[in-house]
Structure formats: structure tokens, C-alpha cells
Structure 1
């Protein structure tokens, strides 16, 4: 059976990446096909259009090409595990790799009890017959169960906190405001004598402009508590400024480090120019961030002052209503 490649079946290739689509196949109204990943990227453009014919794409009614999906699923392909080399169809490959291939990588079923063995599926049964973890005494099993439950509770609590912070950002962006601005901020390690909020600063950004004001962002690293926080500072104050803010990870973060979404609500004025510290990371993630010489963060600032929206800000206007009536307070 001859292997199928992109050169021999160009009509089944994505018109952007020129590869066979792995899952859904989408198309424009003229029939040019695009894989799911490329289609999503195209839809994020200012004016989404087909890369081949430039016909506009309807984001609310994507067209799925079922015939192309079935044709691609029937194409022959070889198992990527060299020791196996079995000829399959593209549609049957995921099942083969997950459940059938004797050379797929698997772990021992006693891994929750601490077994570190990993190998090919064909050797799994022989290993499990002689795995010493299967004979572990009851107290060791109980200890493992307790540790696993504690880890699961900790992971659940962290996920719940992240979900709540995400919901808080959604609520901030959904409520009435004058303006919203987003800024990518690069912070660099600052000198040892620089302090903010009564504590030594870790990194500091250059002054940036948002909502018509000048701001600075600081990070704090609390070694004893293994916490990494951010502090937002208003550099000028002409009048009280009621602001909501959220801090997100930037586009460049160390591998494996997950930052929490930080949120705050504050009225800045001449006597209160600095926010309270906003927690971004704890534990090992905080220690990794503390070792960095620079950090990239994304800051969203929401102007909560009363009055009409700023010129050019149309994010929350009801275009079916009667202009800006009702915004004055």
C-alpha cells in the first residue's frame, strides 16, 4: 500500500499550512479548504477572508467539508513508532496509538503507588507481574492515598481560585465604564534601595501611559512566604481616579511557570497613589520568578469615573439605542 503525501493529494491540503488537516476541515463558500488551527488564526484577523480567493468568511456560520474529512481519514499512513511500522488509515491512527500499538509508551499501573517504570506496551504485562509496588504494605498504600488526595485538593483549590479571578475579569469588562486600555509592560530588576508599598521592590517597569495618566508597575518577591506579587502605582494625580485593573501573564514566561490572574479595584488620588500588592504566584513558581532579571506582564486598566465614554471607546455602547443618553451622572 502506497503512503499518501501532500504532493500527491494537494486538493486535500490546507490552503494555509499546506498539510493534511488532522481533525475538522473547514472551507470558504468557494470550496477552498482550511484546517481547524489555520481557520481559527484567520478568523482573528481584522477582516477574516479565505487565504486563496479572499472571499469573506462568515464567523457565525463556518462551513465544514465532511467529504474532505472522510477522504483524508481513508488515506494510508504508517505507524510513527519505527519498531511497529504497521500500515493504517489516518482515521484509524489515533485508536491504534492509544490502545493497540505494542510499541506505544505506557506506564506501570502501580505508578500511583510510586512505581517509576515506563516502557513499551509489549513489555508492560511482564513488568507488572514482578512489580514490587504491588506488594507494598497497607501503611505505605494509605500514605500514598493521603498524599494524592492532598495534592488533588490543592490542585482543585488553585483551579477554583483561577476560575474566580477569570470571572472577576469578565465582570470588570462587562460592566459600565468610560474607557478600557491594555498595555504590555516589561519590568527589569531594580536596585536594592528601591521600595514600594513599604517593601523592597524586585522589578520595576518604565513609566507607561494609560487612561490619560502615567503609571508604573512593580513586582515584589517575598522570600520567606514564597510569594510573588505586583503593585500598580499612579505617577500623577490631578483628581481622584476610580479604577479597576487586572494583571495577566505576558507573552514571554518561563516554561512551566503559571501566573495567577491578579485583580484590584481602587480609587487613586494624591494620598493613595499605590495599590495593595496583588498576588501572582506562590511556592516554586514564585521562586522561579524571583530568579529572573526581567518579567513581561499584561495590564488592563478600566476607568470607572462617571460621565460619557472617552472619544473612540465604543466597546460598551448600545448601538441600537439613542446615542450617548444615559451615560451622564
Structure 2
């Protein structure tokens, strides 16, 4: 009879995935492989962060967006600053704005926000510039401003001029010396009698700020600074300039308050929500300007014109934009009509405006008020306004009667 063939040992099944293969190799050699794998994983994570930073960056400035992110219909990303700048440039050139990558037309209606990219960028790690700790981007500003204990503050020194002749200061020094000594003693007595609160990680000012100390830092460092602060030991002549500056600011604040109260007490007050549409100058260089429709106020016809970089021949060659407006009386007055006005943002405005009063005596010989700069709180808001099809703001007018 033929001998039965010897049975071969059963074959072990192959690992179904690379994870099982790595696990099998690790069981055979527990030494350097886990360490090598951790290094590879760390390198892969670093490369992933860099790759995400390169993929999610703005197509114009090539930087990671700080706030809103817009995309064209093909998905190319732009930060909100570059997006509004492209729209403003296209408005000034009387062209259609296009994506810098694919040249497809973009506008506020065709482009859309990408919330997924905004959230992804906010979670990317970033190093603190003070303590070199790594935090997500959305929590880093709060850490640097309120929580970082290694944040350094530069103490600015007050420069007191010594060119003032002393004989003109003798009478003022005697008055200020008494007020200054009373103020310092009151501050010290108040500080000694007050129970010390537990230090919190928040920003605070020196208690001698009213006499010129510019220090501002964490609350837990306030005690050490106040103990070494040199302002309580200064003479009255040295703090005279600081007190005079504080008095000047208080006078300006009171003057603005009184002026506003006087204007509100006028008999004839009116406001108009304006919409300024773009037009072109009929010149060799077709500069764009804005003009509102005529409106009635104080029984007269008015309109408002606005210009972009009025003193520049071609505003498209500059990255900084300035909007100048001008109030014009279109009807012929019988005499002189003195008007004060202020421009505010209004219900449809998209930019914050600072309160700045203007006035002009309108007459038949002077129907145009001098041009005034639109008082934007942030200069970058000029592109934000120019990106729209029209400028919107509210004009409040006060008629000055004799």
C-alpha cells in the first residue's frame, strides 16, 4: 500500500490590513518599531498642519484667513479683506470682479461663505508669542491678552519739557503742589484701608494713573509695580504737564457735550437716509464719483456728492482709499442759510463713522460746502463701502437761525 502523504502544517492567514501587519511585526520585535512609529506619526501630523495651512490660505494674500472666508463657484478661497478689495477695484475700473485663480466672475451674490474652512482654520494650532505655548487660533487672543503670565509690558516714560521758564510756573506750582499732595495722600489712604482682593488674571492700571503713570498689566503684578512706581515721588512741577493735559481733555469733552446739547435744542432739525450711486466724470481719465438724488430740507433742494481719493489722478493705483463727501445746495436761497450737519452710519450703513460736526453758510455765491473726509473709524472700511453698489449713510442737519 502506498504511504499516505505527510500532512503539511496549516498556513496562517495573511493579515487583512496593514494595521494587522504592523501588529504582527510589533509582537516579533517590541524594541525600536514603536518608537519609530511614534516619530513617523509626529512627522505626519506636522506635515498635515503645514499642508492644511497651504491649502486653506487665501488665494490673493496667501495667508490664513482671520475671520470670514469667501469662495467662488469653483471653490477658490479668499479672505474677507481681499474679497472686498477685489470688488472695490472692479467698481473703480467699471469692470466685473474675477477670481484670481480661475477668472470666473465673483460678486456678493455669486460668492458664498465657507463655514467649514473658517472652523478648520480656527482650530489650527498657533504658538503664543510670549510663552511659546501652542493653542488653537480661536483661543489664542484671549490667552495672550488675559491669561499669559509671561507677557511683557513696556513702560513708557513721560517726557516732561524743561524749557518752560520757571518764573512763569511759580504761581502755578504753588497751587498744584497742594492739590497734588492731597491727591497722593488720598490715594495712599484709600489703598491702605481697602482689603486686598485676590489677584486675578486680568488687565488693570496703576492706581497712580491719574497723575501720569501709563502702566497697564496683569492684576497679579500690580502690587509689585505700585511699590516701585516713581510717580508718587515726583514733584509738582514734573506732573504739571500731565495735569494740564487731563484738564484739556476734560474741557474738550465738555465742549462736545455742550455743542451737542445746543444742536438738539434747535427748532429745525431734519435727517435723511441717503443712497449715493456711482457715476463717471467726463474727463480724459474717467474717475468715478458718487451722487445722491435730490432731497428737500429746510425748504431747499440739496444733494451730496462723494469722491474716492479726490487728490489722486487714478485711485486704482493706490491700496489706501479715502472717501470725500460734499453737501451742495441746488436751490437759490434768498439770503444766507447757515447749516450744521453730521454724518452717521444709518440703518443700512455697513461701516462705523465717527461723530464729526461740519458747518457752512450757504448762499447764492457759495452753494457748495467745502469737501470733507468721510470720518470712518477704520480706514479699511473704505473698500467695504466701495464693494457695494451704492453708499448708504444718514445725514442729520441743523438749521442755525439768528
- Give the TM-score normalised by the residue count of structure 2: 0.38
Kindly indicate which of the two structures has a greater share of residues assigned to strand: 1
Larger radius of gyration: 2
- Give the TM-score normalised by the residue count of structure 1: 0.45
